[in-house]
Amino acid sequence: MNAATLFGLCGAVLVGLGLYGIIVHHEPIRKILAFNLLGGGVFVLFGIIARRGAAAGFGGDPVPQALVITGIVVAFSASAVAVTLVMRLFEVNEAARREARSGHSAEDAG
């Protein structure tokens, strides 16, 4: 088994793990983590495809390598938006909870 196949299988497992994590995790932040695991697996698969296409004196086919670079940036952007959304949602809920609590205590006091 050469390195490409080995890492390819590794990528396949990572995809399975990532999917599992996205589906069964309840907390959004863990879903985002799993999404990144999944993305890592996909990029590794791209990598072995690049590796197998090594020619013209290059260690790999540059096209899939370039695609991965683009893909990583897109995945990061996605994570950034998702994380910000999670935090904002958390804050809005917190604020509502605080308000409810202070409302309650005011009622109790009254």
Partner 1 sequence: MTLLPLYYGLLALLVIGVAWWTLVARETMAAVIGFIAYGMLLGLVWAGIASVDVALTEAAIGGGVTGVLLLRAAARLRPTEPAPHEKPGLVFRVLVGIFCAIVTIGLAVVVLFPTDPAPSLAIAAAEHLPALELGNPVTAVLIAYRALDTMLEKVVLLLALIGVWSLGPDRNWGGLPGRAPAVVTDSALTFLAKLLPPIGIVFGVYLLWTSADNPGGAFQGGTVLAAMWILAMMAGLRAPPAIGSRALRLLLLSGTITFIVVGFAGFLIAGGFLSYPAAFPKALILLIEIPMTLTIAVTLGLLVSGPAERDKTS
Partner 2 sequence: MTGETTAALLATTSGGYLLVLAIMLPLIGTIAIVLLGGQRAERVALVVAPLGLVIAAAILASVWSSGQPLVYIVGGWRPPLGLALRSDGISAVMIAITAIVMCATVLFARGQFRGPAPGVEGRAQMVFWSLLLAVWGALNAVFLGDDLFNLYVALELLTFGAVPLVCLDGRAETLSAALRYLLFALMGSVLYLLGVALIYGAYGTLDIVLLAGVVRSEPVIWVAVALMTVGLIAKTALFPLHLWLPNAHAGAPAAASAILSALVVKGSFFLILRLWFDVMPGQIHLPAQILGFLGAGAILLGSVLALRQARLKLLIAYSTIAQIGYLFLLFPLAVGSGIASPFASIAWTAGLLQLASHAFAKAAMFMAAGMIYEALGHDRIDRLGGAGRVVPIAVFAFAIGGLSLMGLPPSGGFSAKWMLLQASVGEGQWWWIIVITLGGLLAAGYIFRVISPTLIQPFPAPELKAVVPVSRQGVALALALFAVLLGFVPLEPWPLLQIGRTAVEAHLP
Partner 3 sequence: MTGGSLLLVLSLAFPLVLLLGALSRDLRQHLPRILPYAPVPALATALFASGATFALPDWPLRLTLELDAPGAILLGVAALLWIVAGVAAQGYLRGRSDAGRFSVWWLTTLVGSMGVFIAADLPSFYLLFSMVSLAAYGLVVFDDTPSTRRAGRVYVALAVLGEAFLLLAFVLLSTATADNSLMIRDVVGNLAQSPWRDLTIGLIILGFGIKMGLVPFHVWMPLAYTAAPIPAVAVMSGAAVKAGVIGMIRFLPFDSASSGWGTALVVVGLFSAFYGVAIGITQKNPKTVLAYSSVSQMGVIATVFGMGLSSGDRGVMLGGAFYAAHHILVKGGLFLAIGAAASVGSRRLWPVLLPAAIIALGIGGLPLTGGALAKLAVKDTLGYGLVGTLGALSAAGSTLLMLHFLTCLQAVPIEPKMVRPSSRSALSMVLSPVAPWLAIALAAILVPWVLYLSVLGGSVADALKPYALWSSIWPMLIGGALWSALQRWGNRLPLVPRGDILVFFGAVKPASARCSAAFEQADDYLRRWPVAGLSLLILAVAFGIATFALR
Under 8 Å CB-to-CB from 25, ≥6 apart: which residues? Answer: 31, 33, 34
Closer residue to partner 1 in complex, CB, 37/102: 37
Q: Rounded distance, CA 99 to CA 61, Å?
A: 57
Q: Rounded distance, CA 37 to CA 17, Å?
A: 8
Smallest gap from Cβ 52 to partner 1, in A, equals 4
Tell me which residues in 9-38 interact with partner 3 (CB under 8 A): 19, 22-24, 26
Tell me: does residue 69 bind partner 1 (CB under 8 A). yes
Smallest gap from Cβ 63 to partner 3, in A, equals 26
Q: Rounded distance, CA 26 to CA 28, Å?
A: 6
Smallest gap from Cβ 82 to partner 1, in A, equals 9
User: Residues interacting with partner 3, by CB under 8 A?
Assistant: 19, 22-24, 26
